[in-house]
């Protein structure tokens, strides 16, 4: 990372109390080490593995996270509607139908630079919500008009690699970063697209190490063996924080470098 670059840390899905503890333990010192201007974390699994509540949101913000994005699980807690309506830096995917509480985009000033963060959700093998591509086009155009000096970041919470890659290529040169979440498995395909958009298919998971995507191993194994919808429970024990830090040229707004990390 260059000294003059604008840097943003993006964290993979924070899963349950182990993930929150790991973020609290590792993130503040990592922010100082990297001199990051902004921190974005996906928090849709922060409350016992499914959803997010006020306590979890405060824990993330208190650990140095500036904006919390989410996805399909954000609606699973009864307090979600009120929380989404009240908290400007807790985002739900912007491409849910009109009339739902909350917002999918925010403008925020970091330590030095302006940022616009957009939360989107994929449709392939998820819910048939509004088109993330058209929603992205509308919100990016709006952000560029209202906040011309801001760097634009996308958290695309989606299942399929194809859909994630397609959105990144569609937005190449229009946003500084298009990073994926949802699978809880960090991918090793970070790259800068020809017009300057930094891309990573999945940021990974901030959660328990001795687990299957953050869930107790025995439960996942039994679900596979029995094909029964056994209730998932967050695993316990040691956890790590996964994500990536993106370095962006302050003038061109093009991504200059991407570094994946795991803190444990």
Give me the active site residues, please: 73
Token pair 């029964």: residue: 228
In this structure, are residues 241 and 224 in contact, taking their beta carbons and an 8 Å threshold?
A: no
Both structure tokens of 197: 């958009």
Please state, in angstroms and rounded to a whole number, the distance separating the CA atoms of residues 46 and 28.
Answer: 18
What are the phi and psi torsion angles at 217 (to 5°)? -60, -45
Please state, in angstroms and rounded to a whole number, the distance separating the CA atoms of residues 13 and 45.
Answer: 7
Task: Give the helix/strand (H/E) hosting 165.
Answer: helix 161-170
In this structure, are residues 133 and 101 in contact, taking their beta carbons and an 8 Å threshold?
A: no
Classify the phi-psi angles of 78: left when phi > 0, otherwise alpha if psi is within -120 to 50, otherwise beta. Answer: alpha
Of 57, 125, 64, 130, residue with least CA distance to 91: 57
Residue 131 DSSP symbol: -
Residue 26: Cβ within 10 Å count: 19
């Amino acid at each position: 990372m260059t000294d003059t670059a604008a840097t943003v840390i993006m964290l993979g899905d924070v899963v349950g109390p182990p993930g929150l503890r790991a973020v609290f333990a590792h993130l503040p010192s990592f922010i100082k080490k990297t001199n990051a201007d902004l921190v974005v974390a996906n928090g849709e699994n922060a409350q016992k593995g499914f959803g997010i509540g006020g306590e979890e949101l405060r824990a993330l913000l208190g650990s140095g996270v500036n904006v919390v994005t989410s996805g399909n699980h954000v609606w699973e807690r009864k307090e979600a509607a009120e929380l989404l309506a009240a908290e400007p830096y807790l985002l739900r995917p912007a491409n849910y139908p009109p009339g739902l509480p909350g917002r999918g985009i925010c403008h925020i000033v970091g330590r030095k630079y302006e940022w616009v963060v957009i939360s989107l959700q994929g449709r392939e093998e998820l819910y048939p919500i509004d088109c993330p591509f058209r929603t992205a086009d509308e919100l990016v155009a709006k952000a560029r008009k209202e906040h011309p000096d801001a760097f634009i970041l996308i958290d695309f919470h989606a299942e399929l690699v194809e859909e994630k890659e397609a959105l990144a290529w569609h937005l190449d040169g229009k946003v500084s970063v298009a990073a994926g979440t949802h699978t809880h498995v960090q991918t090793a395909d970070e790259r800068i697209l020809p017009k300057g958009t930094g891309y990573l298919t999945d940021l990974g998971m901030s959660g328990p190490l001795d687990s299957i995507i953050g869930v107790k191993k025995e439960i996942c194994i039994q679900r596979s063996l029995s094909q029964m919808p056994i209730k998932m429970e967050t695993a316990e024990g040691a956890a790590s924080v996964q994500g990536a830090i993106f370095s962006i040229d302050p003038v061109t707004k093009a991504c200059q470098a991407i570094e994946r990390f795991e803190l444990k």
